[in-house]
């Protein structure tokens, strides 16, 4: 049984086709890295699977642990155990991190027929998650991402992931803009959640993150489909050689198509 099974996925944004027959099969416990040139559709894949508005699915299926995702609203997909760590986390001024995360956790618990957590129990959990991503506890009281640095925002995403304990986590360039120490923190957060019943999709431009989060598979996405799949060593090859040898483009052309 797969954790996530995507078959022949076609999707467009404003009539522009971005995903073009994508197949991906992820077993429980596996970590899959998705790499590829700019504009290949990596972030789009995350948005389409998680149900962002404006991303139109034309054909295909995506099944998460037996649940057909593409017919569900974004919040229902989240409640089914899907988590997306954003590349550019947005601020919600005046809503404390604590309040936001408790509401999220409670909404997901309610969907599973579980009672809401007491504020005290939640606080204990939140404090633990906060220390794990090495953010000062004061961040729990601050507005969601309000005035956070780039690195703090990324760590805040991981904190939310730790609290929600999703079945499938999609990390959308969670390494971009991070220094080595922050990268280590993000990777530690992810690694601490790795288990036999949880899977990860790690979208990244750089092999560096994969030194910290060891993938089981590396896929190269280009023009909306996966054109090559390999093990962790593929990331090293890409680091050394770029994508041109796979896509058939010259390096300059690849750069120009960046979106």
Q: Interface with another protein by CB under 8 A: which residues?
A: 50-54, 73-75, 78-79, 83-84, 86, 89-95, 99-101, 103-104, 107-108, 111, 143-144, 160, 164
Residues 176, 182, 187: CA angle, nearest 5 degrees: 85
Torsion sign across C-alpha atoms 228, 233, 238, 241: negative
User: What residues are paired with 12 via a beta bridge?
Assistant: 17, 56
Q: Considering beta carbons, is residue 86 or 217 the nearer one to another protein?
A: 86
Q: Considering beta carbons, is residue 138 or 240 the nearer one to another protein?
A: 138
Question: Could you tell me the smallest distance in angstroms from the CB atom of residue 221 to another protein?
Answer: 21
Question: Could you tell me the smallest distance in angstroms from the CB atom of residue 246 to another protein?
Answer: 31
Q: Considering beta carbons, is residue 90 or 180 the nearer one to another protein?
A: 90
The CB density around residue 126, as the number of other CB atoms within 10 Å, is 23
Nearest residue to 102 via CA among 83, 117, 92: 117
Q: Considering beta carbons, is residue 14 or 53 the nearer one to another protein?
A: 53
Q: Considering beta carbons, is residue 37 or 46 the nearer one to another protein?
A: 46
Question: Which segments of the chain does DSSP mark as H helices, in order?
Answer: 42-50, 74-79, 97-111, 119-132, 150-164, 180-193, 208-212, 232-241, 244-247, 251-256
CA 64 – CA 51 distance, rounded (Å): 13
Question: Could you tell me the smallest distance in angstroms from the CB atom of residue 142 to another protein?
Answer: 12
CA 62 – CA 146 distance, rounded (Å): 34
Torsion sign across C-alpha atoms 103, 162, 235, 64: negative
Q: Considering beta carbons, is residue 53 or 179 the nearer one to another protein?
A: 53
């Amino acid at each position: 049984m797969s954790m996530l099974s995507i078959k022949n996925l076609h999707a467009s944004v404003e009539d522009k086709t971005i995903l073009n027959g994508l197949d991906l099969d992820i077993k429980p416990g596996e970590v899959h890295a998705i790499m590829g040139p700019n504009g290949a559709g990596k972030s789009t894949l995350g948005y389409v699977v998680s149900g962002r508005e404006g991303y139109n699915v034309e054909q295909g299926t995506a099944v998460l642990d037996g649940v057909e995702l593409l017919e569900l609203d974004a919040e229902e997909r989240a409640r089914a155990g899907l988590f997306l760590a954003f590349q550019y986390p947005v601020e919600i001024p005046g809503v404390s991190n604590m309040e936001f995360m408790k509401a999220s956790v409670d909404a997901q618990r309610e969907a599973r027929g579980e009672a809401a957590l007491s504020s005290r129990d939640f606080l204990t959990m939140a404090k633990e998650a906060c220390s794990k991503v090495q953010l000062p506890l004061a961040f729990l009281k601050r507005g969601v991402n309000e005035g956070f640095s780039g690195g703090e925002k990324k760590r805040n995403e991981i904190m939310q992931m730790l609290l929600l304990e999703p079945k499938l986590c999609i990390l959308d360039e969670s390494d971009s803009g991070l220094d080595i120490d922050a990268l280590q923190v993000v990777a530690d957060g992810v690694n601490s959640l790795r288990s036999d019943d949880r899977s990860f999709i790690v979208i990244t431009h750089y092999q560096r993150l994969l030194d910290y989060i060891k993938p089981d598979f590396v896929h190269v996405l280009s023009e909306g489909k996966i054109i090559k799949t390999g093990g962790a060593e593929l990331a090293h090859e890409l680091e050394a050689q770029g994508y041109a040898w796979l896509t058939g483009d010259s390096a300059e052309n690849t750069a120009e198509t960046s979106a």
